[in-house]
Structure 1
Amino acid sequence: MSWQPELDDLARRQTMAEAMGGPDKVKRQHDGGRLTVRERVGAMLDPGSFHEVGAIAGKAKYALDGSLQEFTPSNCVMGRGLIDGRPVVVVGDDFTVRGGSADATIKEKPIMAERMAADLRLPIIRIIEGSGGGGSVKTIETTGRANLPGGIGGQAMYHLTGDNLSRVPVVGLGLGSVAGLGAARLAATHFSVMTKETSAMFVAGPPVVNALGNNLSKAELGGWEIQCKAGAVDHAVDSEEEAFAAARRFLSYLPGHVWELPKRLPSEDDPNRTDESLLGVIPRNIRQPYRMRPIIEGLMDRGSVFEMGRYFGRSVITCLARLNGLPVAVLAGDPMFYAGSWTADACAKVVRFVDLAETFHLPVVYLMDCPGFMIGLEAEQSATIRWGVRAMAAVNQSTVPWCTVIVRNAFGVAGVVHQPANRFSVRHAWPSARWGSLPLEGGIEAAYRADLDAAEDRAATLAEIEARLQLLRSPLRTAEAFWVEEIIDPRQTRRLLCDFAGLAERVLEPGMRAHGMRP
């Protein structure tokens, strides 16, 4: 006796599942410039490595004799595979079946994907296109009742998407229209990517929003420029292939889970490499900005810098990189925006990035140029100081090794946040460094108001006071009192940072952290 008839039936069902929503829907997907979910999974993973789970789950119709007549697969494709030889979980929405909405899903499939990632300690990649929530308005008619969000025992997805952030790397790819729960799943990640021309993300799409009296297109409501600037999404690319490449590269810096440590890769870049241009990269004119990104590129291993969140909180740069092959988290001030002052958005960006470094045991390198928190009416209206103390708490609660290089400014309360309190961290300063409770510019007018008001020549007196204080502000004088540890030749910075990476690697400890990461 053979079980071949059942295997033949299984193969037929698998073929029907792989047809997804049918040729017309697949063509429509391609005509819109988008791949199908199965094409996406194949492009995301190492060739031939995908092991699908629940491929034949869906809705079937049978003839009176019990034979299968029609089959519509679930619009969730999930399973395990490899990325650069490392195991991962991948779960994707099939937009060709009911637009990726919950009308055609089996909710246990995406939940199982999250549980698989958590319990097998595997990174998870969510390929998102659709709503993925409680279904459309039409669901009320098809089910005969209204859906209570979460229902009875229906909170597993929300619980797992939050908890997994503290356990395994989570990547979200928004590759079409993403709304509702789909948008929440895209935002609840360590790294998220949108495609510029073919994707949009929103809590509710244009039909719902425009019913309130608006007239917005998908791009105007939730296109990549909106979401990247708001910080809801980290990155945007021109094509789906670039999105897959960005996801793979992001994962290459992180361990597979928090019970592992990041892995050092072989590096051909000399850790003792020097760069003569660093001697003149910081202008003597303190009002003149400069470009920080070339400095980062020059100090880190060549070709290793991977920036995240470029369009959000732009006075701060956050990126992953390598020092002599070891992954590190790089935080830097960008004087091209608000002179490097920390806005409310910049503080939020710092919190999330430091939490990422803490969660996955990445040593932090901070190239500091921060003249303080942003000031003014807009800063007060956005509660900058509240976000500022959150950033301070995140830095102080971190336990990973920390190295700060003060490149230029370190002023005010934001200046305090340049290293964790109450534990050792490595700190260097360039000769161009300046610091204090307040910058002299503007601060003199407040501190010496009586002298200036009494002066016959206010401008001359102001200039004399400023010249006198400038002499005292030299970082070398601060070093005399050991209020700063080291003033270094900028050309030696890479060598010292690589030394730091080697020391940091010795003390990194795997495991979950007390302060779990939140979206």
Structure 2
Amino acid sequence: MSWVKEVEELKRRQELAKQMGGEEKIARHVNAGKLTVRDRIDKMLDPDSFEEVGSVTGKAEYDADGNLLDLQPANLITGRGRVNGKRVVVAGDDFTVRGGANDAGIREKLIHVEDMANSLQLPLIRLVDGTGGGGSVKTIETEGRTYVPAVSGWEVMVDNLAKVPVVALALGSTAGLGAARVAASHYSVMVKETSQMFVAGPPVVARTGETLTKNELGGSDIHTRNGAVDDEAKTEEEAFERARRFLSYLPSSVYDLPPRTECTDDPNRRDESLIEAIPRDPRKVYKMRKIIESVVDEGSFFEIGKRWGRSIITGFVRLDGWPVAIIASDPYHYGGAWTADASQKVTRFVDLVQTFHLPVVHLVDIPGFLVGRQAEDQATIRHGVRAMTAIFQATVPWCAMIVRKTYGVAGAAHMNSGRFNLRYAWPSGDWGSLPIAGGLEAAYKADLAASDDPKKKLEEIEERLNRLRSPFRSAERFLIDEIIDPRDTRKILCDFAEMAAPLRKTGVSSFGIRP
């Protein structure tokens, strides 16, 4: 006696589940410019690597004799697969089944997939498209009751942030718990025009008096500029590629180290243009991203959060094949001054690299915290101090390269000066408690008041002080470790990456990343 009949029944149920929400709803979904959840999983993972878990989960309908009539599949598809050859866990929402609402799902399945990533110590990829919470208002009638809000399994989601890489792609309209699952990640992406994220959607918001379209309320233009989501993609395929690149720089869990890749870019390569990259006029801007590209392995710069906190650049690079985190100033935005948003960006990024043991290179040009009424309204000092504290809490190897300004409290956050770090400066280095242009009038107020020609006196004092500002004066007193030829930057940074590699420690950080 065999079990062929039961296996055939299993196949039948699996085929029913693969019909998702049915032809009509699938067509509507595809016509909206979106891929089905199964197509998304196929495109996200390495070919033929998906192993589904819970393939026949759903709500079944039986006749009086107990024979299966139909199966409404759960709208969360889960399983394991591979990305770049490495095992991952994946969870994909199926919007064609009840719009991704939890009343078509099985709550245990959502908890199980989080547990799977946590217990197997594997990266988790969430393909989010729906609410994924307590269901719609209609649930009250279908269930005959309501419930006290709770998010079962949230403690596992929090623990995952401290242990495994979590990527969340918002691929449609996400609200409630769906939006929270996007935000509770290390890296998130939205697709322009076709994905949105909100606490509650337009119909609920309309009851408060605001009538907005989905994109007006929570489109990618909003959330990639306020920091709720890291990046924007033009297509779903681009979002998948960004997720793959992000994961390529990280270990599978905190119990591993980020992998080195083969490098064909000479670590001793010199870029002659660096000798004139920084203008002599301190008021002139320059392109920091061009400098980054010139000193890291060719094509390895992966920027994260480009659209928000824009006076700070964050991302991953490779140096002689070693994965390294990079922080850099962008003088095109507030001259590189740390704003409230930029400070929050630094805090979150430092928490991320501390969690996954990535050494840090910091290309520094910080004139200080942003000043003015707007800065005070935004509690810049509070957010700035949090960023500085994150840097001082970090224990990963750190190399600061001062390319121009380092002023004030924000400038002091270019590294943790209380522990050993590598620190270099270009000849263009310029530092102090306050820029002369901003502090001279206050410091020499009495001298200027007593002068018959305050303007001329001011010029004399400024010229006298400028002669003392040379970085060589600081180097004489060992206030800067070493001044270097900018063209040697790549070689020095590659040496740093190699020295840092054996110093990286596995395990759970003393503090976990906060979304």
Q: Please indicate the TM-score interval, normalised by the length of the shorter structure.
A: over 0.9
Q: Partner residue of 1:64?
A: 64
Gaps of 5+ in 1: none
Alpha-carbon distance, 1:244 to partner: 0.6
Partners of 1:96 and 1:155 lie apart in 2 by 24
- CA–CA distance in structure 2, aligned partners of residues 241 and 215 of structure 1: 32
What is the aligned counterpart of 1:434 among 410, 416, 430? 430
Cα separation, 1, equivalents of 2:157 and 2:296: 33
- Partner SS, residue 472 of structure 1: coil
**Deviation digits for residues 288-316 of structure 1, max 9, x if unmatched?**
11110000011110000000000110000
Residue matched to 1:354: 350
Deviates more, 1:304-313 or 1:420-429: 420-429
Q: Separation in 2 of the partners of 1:84 and 1:376?
A: 47
Q: Deviations over 1:194-232 (max 9, x none)?
A: 100200000111111121111211111110010000100
| 1:325-474 mapped onto 2 (5 Å cutoff) | 325-474=321-470
Q: 2:186 — aligned with what?
A: 190
1:222 alignment partner in structure 2 = 218
SS at match of 1:192: strand
Deviations 1:440-472 (A, max 9, x none): 012101000111112111211111111110010
Q: 2:45 is matched with which residue?
A: 45
> Shift of residue 147 of structure 1?
2.1
Could you report, residue by residue, the CA deviation over 1:310-344 in whole angstroms, capped at 9, with x for unpaired residues?
01100000010000000000000100000000011
Deviation at residue 509 of structure 1 after TM alignment: 1.0
Say whether the 8 Å CA contact 2:170–2:196 is kept in structure 1.
yes
Q: Distance in 2 between matches of 1:471 and 1:282?
A: 19
The equivalent residue for 1:485 is: 481
Contact 2:76 2:105 in 1 (8 A): yes
- Percent sequence identity over matched residues? 58
Distance 2:436 2:172 in 1: 51
- Aligned mates of 1:190, 1:511 — CA distance in 2: 17
Q: Report what 2:36 is aligned to.
A: 36
Deviations 1:230-286 (A, max 9, x none): 100000111111111110010000000000001111100000000110011111111
Separation in 2 of the partners of 1:442 and 1:263? 46
Select the residue among 226, 230, 239 that pairs with 2:235: 239
- In 2, the alpha carbon distance for the partners of 1:424 and 1:121 equals 32
**Which residue is equivalent to 1:509?**
505
Where do residues 168-179 of structure 1 align in structure 2 (5 Å cutoff)?
168-179=164-175
Deviation of the 1:21 alpha carbon: 0.4
Residue 104 of structure 2 is aligned to residue 104 of structure 1: yes
TM-score if structure 1 supplies the norm length?
0.98
Distance 1:421 1:408 in 2: 18
Q: Secondary structure at the match of 2:482?
A: coil
Residue aligned with 2:129, SS: strand
Q: Read off the aligned partner of 2:223 and give its amino acid letter.
A: Q
Give the Cα–Cα distance (whole angstroms) in 1 for the partners of residues 62 and 111 of structure 2.
Answer: 28
What is the CA–CA distance in structure 1 between the aligned matches of 2:277 and 2:289, rounded to whole Å?
Answer: 12
Determine the structure 2 residue equivalent to 1:265. Answer: 261
Which portions of structure 1, spanning 4 or more consecutive aligned residues, are displaced by more than 4 angstroms?
none
Q: CA separation in 2, counterparts of 1:461 and 1:215?
A: 60
SS at match of 1:388: helix
- State the number of aligned residues: 515
Which secondary structure does the structure 2 equivalent of 1:357 belong to?
Answer: helix
**Higher mean C-alpha deviation, range 128-137 or range 138-147:** 138-147
Equivalent residues in 2 for 1:278-297, closer than 5 Å: 278-297=274-293
Three-state SS of the structure 2 residue aligned to 1:342 is: coil
SS in 2 for 1:167: coil
Root-mean-square deviation over aligned CA pairs: 0.7
Of the three residues 134, 152, 155, the one matched with 1:155 is 152
Offset of 1:67 from its aligned partner? 1.4
Gaps of 5+ in 2: none
